Structure 1
Amino acid sequence: MNTFIIQRHKVIHSIIALCFLLSYSLTNAQQSSSIHSKNTEVKIDSIISLLTLEEKVSLVHAQSKFSTPGIPRLGIPEIWMSDGPHGVRGEINWDNWGYADWTNDSITAFPALTCLAATFNPSLSNDYGISVGEEARYRKKDILLGPGVNIYRTPLNGRNFEYMGEDPFLASKMVVPYIKGVQQNGVSACVKHYVLNNQEEWRDHINVKVSERALHEIYLPAFKAAIMEGGAWSLMGSYNKHNGQYCSHHDKLINTILKGDWGFDGVVITDWGSAHDTKEAILNGLDIEMGTGTDGLTTNQKNAYDNYYLAYPFLQLLKSGEIDEKYVDDKVRRILRLMYRTTMSSNRPMGRMNNVEHHEVARKVASEGIVLLKNENNFFPIKDDKNITIAVIGENATRSMTIGGGSSELKAQFEISPLEGLKKIYKNATIIHAMGYASGPSAYAKVLPSTLDAEKLKTEAIATAQKADIVLFVGGLNKNHHQDCEGGDRLKFGLPFGQEDLIDELLKVNKNMGVILVSGNAVEMPWLEQVNGLMQSWYLGSMAGQAIADVVIGNVNPSGKLPFSFPKKLKDNAAHFYGDISYPGDSINQEYKEGILVGYRWHDTKKIKPLFPFGFGLSYSSFDLTDITTDKKSYTPKSQIKVTCTVSNTGTKDGAEVVQVYVGKSKSKVQRAFKELKGFNKVNLNAGEQKTIEILINTDDLSFYNESTANWQLETGNYYIYVGNASDHITKKIKFTIN
């Protein structure tokens, strides 16, 4: 009897201790984010000691499409996730991909991350992260599945619009403030897709072979910055393999690099269905398994989730003693740590959704990310004159771009189309419209052709263009399968749905034409020389039409810069230069034969002129870069180079210029790109104003990855700094030395 009482008292004390732990109130924001504090880790260890083996295993795999279970008897909550680097996705059913048809899950759609990268504005990236984090928090999400930082390698990748371009330095500088903004709301950013998921074709199994140097210099830096500078709390593995092992449970990528070298203390989550082996998942650092299609998941079979690789099979290995319990304890520890940062944090804000401030952030990102690529005879801006008739032609002028595209599709509270935005802003000019072409409705992993008469649409568009003084062709890609969409790559580089032929026909009747491209990818442009103006407008979310109209009429001076190169033809792109084994592979293996020469690195080094270069973007104003100097002529390792530049707005409109600093190594002992982006600064200037800016570069950031020593190495000798406003428009070259 006495033994029973003693045991009962122990249980009661444990429950009281746990209740205290779960309700423990952190006294300030600094303590709540200090996950390395001994107090938090002691609390986590205490909870682990109370969990049964079955409860531990239950925490490391899904219980529904977008949640993992809690432990009700101990008050440990569930974890709820949502797709959406560009906004919080509509609610999905428990066991299948159908929408739950809620009436309160419509959100603000923010511009795609290609647009955010095109702003070259880290401060605005932070505003974006805060806003989307607030919406996720209001929707009671604990993990937001984004942002994506896979490198733009080929313009055919269907998912490029979700990422931040071709340059690892730009992606690193833009992703860090985004993550911090999201996570200040007590919502975890989940950086994806780690790593080498640079195409959708065969993504679920393709084995990517890439040099160690290219891996570390091109494909890992943005993930590294997200973890070590941004402090991301979770990370999503990719579907593909690297050197024969699936990336979602890859020993070197996860155990050695992510959790070892980078000290990641958060949670590694599968992409949905990217786990393939129980033992590899256990031993190689996977913490939460989501979306595996084992044993009738989509048919709602009872206990389907128990058949996941990290579910019943994991439990059996633990019970048999074949796998040490320390492995499940480490996963549970990371998950509880995530909970203390999110759902078990006592000072989480409440969040906000669809408020005016979010709409303004969406509008600012959209208008600041639009890139003016051509402006012959000052075609743009188009004045609001009662004597002018503007023909707006193209399906993309009215098509919704928040739906479709795969997992990033959104249920927006509203979406202003380009046509609607133009009609609202032009009070005097006459706006007429014709669809011109049709593409059919959006559907995942299949193409649904349009039922409309293509010839009739073309005839109507030509007649409309004949009536107008100005033609604005709003075309490009969309979020259908084989366009900018998850689950498949583009099938051709040119414009789809007969748009090239339509443009040719329109030019025969009206040569005063400008083009607004809506896309997340570069396209071939055989018609470029014949049009007067060209804007790259991306997928701009809820405020798309307003932002486009602001730039077209001149209320906003365009300041966006391309985050990736536009090649003239597909073979000019490095991934396509080496043939099928380089892209898309042979269906089993793929070799990144271009190595470190991705994007502008390839164009510069191989002297292949792009159609439009990385970092390029025009303005309605003009800017001069003068008095460009460095503080010294020679530097030592672990020092800083200070580049000083005076930027002058010599035009008549207020605007912004992006000063870009590239560095190249002279006579390197290893292959180098001609130059690489190492610093940038976006400067806002009133007409006639000038400012002097400083850009700091750490000399150690000029190191290359030495494969023979598996470490970074800084070469001594002569280097060159290139300062300009695009990768191919350099104002000054400065020689310096590292001793």
Structure 2
Amino acid sequence: MFKKIALVCLVSLMIFQAKAQEKKTQIYLDDSQPIELRVEDALSKMTLEEKVAMLHAQSKFSSPGVPRLGIPEFWTTDGPHGIRPEVKWDEWDQAGWTNDSIIAYPALTALSATWNKKMSWNYGKALGEEARYRKKDILLGPGVNIYRTPLNGRNFEYMGEDPFLSSKMVVPYIKGVQSNGVAACVKHYALNNQEQFRHTSNVIVDDRALYEIYLPAFKAAVQEGDTWSIMGAYDMYKNQYASQNQYLLNDILKKEWGFKGVVISDWGAVNDTKQAIMNGLDMEFGSWTNGLSEGTSNAYDNYYLAHPYLKLIKSGEVGTKELDDKVRRILRLAFLTTMNKNKPFGNIASEEHRAIAKEIGEEGIVLLKNQKNVLPINVAKTKKIAVIGENAIKMMTVGGGSSSLKVKYETLPLDGIKARFGKDAEVVFARGYVGDVTGEYNGVKTGRDLTDNRSQAELTKEAVELAKNSDFVIFVGGLNKSDFQDSEGNDRKDMGLPYHQYELISALAKANKNFTVVLVSGNAVEMPWVKEVPSIVQAWYLGSESGHAIASVLAGDANPSGKLPFTFPVKLEDNSAHQLGEYPGNKEELAQGKGKDQQNPINIKYNEGIFVGYRWHDTKNIKPLFSFGHGLSYTTFEIGQAKADKSVITEDETITFTIPVKNTGKKAGAEVVQLYIRDVKSSLPRPLKELKGFEKIYLNPGEQKEVTITIDKSALSFFDPVKHDWVAEPGDFEALIGNSSDAIKTKIKFSLQ
């Protein structure tokens, strides 16, 4: 008996030692080891076939891991404003799940309009928690493409026209998302500034504009935000598609900026195996959009970075150096996400998330105009409120392209207004206009029928009569998520309001002077009626809490503090891309029919260079409808004389500006102090001024505080294309400080030695 016990113990000891030895050799599973050591260990254990398999999709939104080694698959998800509903394995159609409804957050234009970095962190953290709960590893967002033209159908997904504002807002968003062990995937890198011809265009832009305008937010995402992945764009640059582009991906992203993460293709953006291998792409998705076109049992093996790549390696035509670099990056991503044992569980549609969505919405809403203090609505003197306009009853979380969402709820503007004012006043509704009555996108259904067959004359008559017999009129209009409006895949055809809204707004303004126009849109619109109406509110797409956020601002429960993240031009021709640049492409090539397929791409030349948005308006003294950084409040603020801690700085020094700000009104509120820099004399043309610092400050009535903003020589620099470097020329500069680009309150001169 003793011998048997001893034998069993010996065998057990041997098994234990063997397992211990095996564990020692499986360094990649030991999260106490340095991540780079784990990467190399896992790489050394993988077969050639396993490496190649990690480079491409296995379904619409997932890619394989290495089951033999216990490395899980990756699951990606749209989008930047909420977690997309589940679709079928190989198709865009809905999977029919009943537990994939979420909270929709305000679109990124609204987030950017808060000018509040804390709000950006809260947004990213909450969105990352929902992604984590839904077992997603890579969030396909945020988007930071620059607002070049107000016709871009996808502008609502981005952060505006200014590279500095976008840079400062994208970094906390990334960190918030990634605090959940979910990778942010910043998109669309790069130069995807319009939807028309996005698959069949070649962007021609000088290096200075590239580095000063179109790349800074991506660079900040990499070097300050440590984003774990980046999505390549569809368009071409230097005659190579962006998702397989030597200059963008290898030379700039990976070499200049030191990006350690994974480059993921946009869905269907890859079209050449050798370019994908050599030019910096790491993971390929969506090349055949239904996953089955090749007629094989697993068509994903026919992607450009799948069997075609494997064949090139086995034939000796290409080596494995590039392959190993791609797999290293993907393994590193795995250890940060799918194999991260310390990531939280996440949660979905919590009360905290609802509160965050509402707060961001309230802070992002911009009060554009408020003559005679029409707003906030005086409840004591208002017994009947007329709400007019289709956008008051239309869901905006469904549609718009890949950011379309399936929400647990969406509080519509009419419902939010009724909930807030209904106890004190009668709230009545008139349609006013009929726009898009559809209620379905990619299988997500609103379940609402907005069909109305009345003529525009009948609708207008009803609305005007209601307006005449009410104490206050709220018109809720703007754009929607339909094709050729704020929607992926197409651009707007003009800057006007659709569906006869211009005529309707004018008629309502004549009917009642207690009138506000609430615009729901992600883009600037023309306002030939601007002088006719006393109050205008830019409300964006605000997600699940839209109605509550709008009502809160109209009532004055929340004091508006949003600022425009892009310029509203008076007319389209005032925009530099339309006055100087080529949009939607070269006119001669348009006439020749170019841009219809990838074999005949159309060239789009950015002749305006660095003069985008307010840089163009201010420098050329073109008065905008509403300026970049503009936004009113229900209180008043006084920005006092700024002081600097020095008048002369060297290249290695910083300079700090101290600005006193006082709330001179009777209501608590927030102001955004904006600091612009002017180069008094430069060897190269520069804009009149450029945003280089901002801070949002909350003040009670009568309260005064000091805001400090520190800059270094980077704020004084321009990109020299000859030297291919940033240059700060010695000489005189001015710090211009105010609360919008056309409202400078205080100036300070200083010089750089």
By the TM > 0.5 criterion, same fold?
yes
Q: Which residue among 245, 249, 252 is the counterpart of 1:254? A: 249
Q: Which residue of structure 2 aligns with residue 32 of structure 1? A: none
What secondary structure, in the 3-state scheme, does the structure 1 residue paired with 2:640 have? Answer: strand
Q: Which amino acid aligns with 2:742?
A: D
Aligned 8 A contact 2:28 2:39 in 1: no
Tell me what 1:549 maps to.
551
CA distance in 1, matches of 2:290, 2:122: 43
Instruction: Give CA deviations for 1:537-578 in whole Å, capped at 9, x if unaligned.
Output: 000011111111110001110000000000000000010002
TM-superposed CA distance for 1:466, in Å, is: 2.5
The equivalent of 2:341 in structure 1 is 346
Matched, 1:596 2:610: yes
Other-structure match for 1:520: 522
Q: 1:78-117 residue pairs with structure 2 within 5 A?
A: 78-117=73-112
Residue in 2 that maps onto 1:635: 649
Name which of 491, 494, 518 aligns with 1:492.
Answer: 494
How far, CA to CA, are the matches of 1:620 and 1:451 in structure 2? 37
Taking structure 1 as reference, are residues 295 and 527 closer, same or farther at Cα in structure 2, changes over 3 Å only?
Answer: closer
Aligned to 1:16: 22
The whole-number CA distance in structure 1 between the counterparts of 2:740 and 2:490 is 31
Q: Give 2:454's aligned residue.
A: 453
Residue 433 of structure 1 aligns to which amino acid in structure 2? Answer: F
Q: CA deviation at 1:424?
A: 0.6
Name the residue aligned to 1:614. 628
What residue number does 1:510 align with?
Answer: 512
Q: Is the 8 A contact 1:659 1:680 kept in 2?
A: yes
Q: Which runs of 5+ in 2 are unaligned?
A: 1-14, 443-448, 596-601
Residue number among 418, 429, 432 corresponding to 2:428 in the alignment: 432
Partner residue, 2:686: 672
What letter corresponds to residue 663 of structure 1 in structure 2?
A: I
- Structure 1, residues 7-40: CA drift from partner, whole Å, max 9, x if none? xx9xx889934884454244xxxxxxxxxxx732
1:713 aligned onto 2:727: yes
Query: Which residue of 360, 364, 371 maps to 1:365?
Result: 360
1:267 and 2:266 aligned: no
- Counterpart CA distance in 2 for 1:691 and 1:672 is 33
**1:450-489 residue pairs with structure 2 within 5 A?**
452-455=453-456, 456-489=458-491
Q: Which amino acid aligns with 1:349?
A: P
Distance 1:393 1:228, change over 3 A: same
Q: Contact (CA 8 Å) 2:90, 2:291: kept in 1 or not?
A: no
8 Å CA contact retained: 1:23, 1:346: no
Specify every segment of 5 or more residues in structure 1 that has no aligned partner in the other structure, as ranges: 1-8, 27-37
Offset of residue 460 of structure 1: 2.5
Q: Which amino acid aligns with 1:734?
A: I
**2:201 matched to 1:206?**
yes
The sequence identity of aligned pairs, in percent, is 56
Corresponding residue number in structure 1 for 2:5:
none
Q: By how many angstroms is 1:346 displaced?
A: 1.2
Instruction: Measure the CA separation in 1 of the matches of 2:622 and 2:417.
Output: 38
What amino acid sits opposite 2:708 in the alignment? E
- 1-structure distance, mates of 2:535, 2:584: 35
What SS does structure 2 have at the residue aligned with 1:385?
helix
CA gap of 1:349–1:23, structure 2 versus 1, over 3 A, is same
Count of matched residue pairs:
716
- The answer to whether the Cα contact below 8 Å between 1:507 and 1:513 also exists between their aligned partners in 2 is yes
Q: Counterpart in 2 of 1:131?
A: 126
| Counterparts of 2:133 and 2:399, CA distance in 1 | 24
Post-superposition offset of 1:325: 1.0
Q: Does 1:44 pair with 2:44?
A: no
TM-aligned CA deviation for residue 326 of structure 1: 1.5
Secondary structure of 2:418's aligned partner: helix
Query: SS of 1:627's equivalent?
Result: coil
Residue 645 of structure 1 pairs with residue 645 of structure 2: no
- 1:687 paired residue among 686, 696, 701: 701
**Structure 2: how far apart are the matches of 1:39 and 1:695?**
38
Q: 1:584 to 1:620 in 2, by over 3 A?
A: farther
Provide the rounded CA distance (Å) in 1 between the counterparts of 2:491 and 2:441: 12
Structure 2 residue 283 is the aligned partner of structure 1 residue 288 = yes
Residue by residue over 1:589-646, the C-alpha shift from the partner in whole angstroms, topping out at 9 and shown as x without a partner, is 0000100000000000011000000000000000001131111111111211101111
Q: Deviations over 1:47-77 (max 9, x none)?
A: 2122111111110000000000122222110
CA displacement, residues 99-148 of structure 1 (integer Å, 9 cap, x when unaligned): 11111111111000000100000011101111000000000000000000
Q: Tell me, what secondary structure is at the counterpart of 1:297?
A: coil
Task: Provide the rounded CA distance (Å) in 2 between the counterparts of 1:533 and 1:122.
Answer: 28
Q: Does 1:119 find its partner at 2:114?
A: yes
1:579, CA displacement in angstroms?
5.9
Task: Tell me the secondary structure at the aligned position of residue 135 of structure 2.
Answer: coil
For 2:718, the aligned partner's letter is F
- Alignment of 1:337 onto 2:332: yes
Distance 1:183 1:15, change over 3 A: farther
Distance 1:469 1:612 in 2: 28
CA displacement, residues 178-232 of structure 1 (integer Å, 9 cap, x when unaligned): 0000001000000000000000001012100001000000000000000000000
Residues 654 and 145 of structure 1: CA distance in aligned 2, closer, same or farther (over 3 Å): same
Q: Is the 8 A contact 2:577 2:583 kept in 1?
A: no
Please give the alpha-carbon distance, in whole angstroms, between the structure 1 residues aligned to 2:117 and 2:248. 28
Cα distance in 2 for partners of 1:164, 1:290 equals 25
Q: Is the 8 A contact 2:404 2:441 kept in 1?
A: no
* RMSD of aligned residue pairs (Cα, Å): 2.0
Residue 30 of structure 1 is matched in structure 2 by none
Is the Cα–Cα contact under 8 Å of residues 511 and 530 in structure 1 kept in the other structure? no
State the distance in 1 between where 2:429 and 2:27 align. 63
Which residue of 696, 699, 710 corresponds with 2:710? 696
Query: Within 1, Cα distance between the matches of 2:559 and 2:577?
Result: 34
**Shift of the alpha carbon at 1:468?**
1.2
One-letter amino acid matched to 1:16: E
CA contact (8 A) 2:151 2:492 kept: yes
In the other structure, the counterpart of 1:276 is 271
Aligned 8 A contact 2:648 2:752 in 1:
yes
Distance 1:295 1:68 in 2: 15
1:374 alignment partner in structure 2: 369
2:187: which partner in 1? Answer: 192
Distance, in Å, in 2 between the alignment partners of 1:109 and 1:680 is 28
Q: In structure 2, how many angstroms separate the alpha carbons of the residues matched to 1:656 and 1:78?
A: 45
Residue-by-residue CA offset, 1:464-489 (whole Å, 9 max, x unaligned): 22221221110000101111000000
Aligned residue among 670, 682, 687 for 1:656: 670
Q: Distance in 1 between matches of 2:670 and 2:80?
A: 26
Contact 1:517-1:534 within 8 A present in 2 as well: yes
1:659/1:271 CA distance change after superposition, 3 Å = same
The answer to whether residue 310 in structure 2 is matched with residue 315 in structure 1 is yes
1:560 aligned to which of 535, 545, 562: 562
| Contact 2:78–2:140 (Cα < 8 Å) also in 1 | yes
Q: Give, in whole Å, the separation in 2 of the partners of 1:633 and 1:689.
A: 29
Aligned mates of 2:213, 2:156 — CA distance in 1: 18
State how far apart, in whole Å, the 1-side matches of 2:450 and 2:361 are.
30
Distance 1:645 1:663, change over 3 A: same
Q: Secondary structure at the match of 2:642?
A: strand
* Cα distance in 2, alignment partners of residues 215 and 18 from structure 1: 48
Letter in 1 for 2:116: N
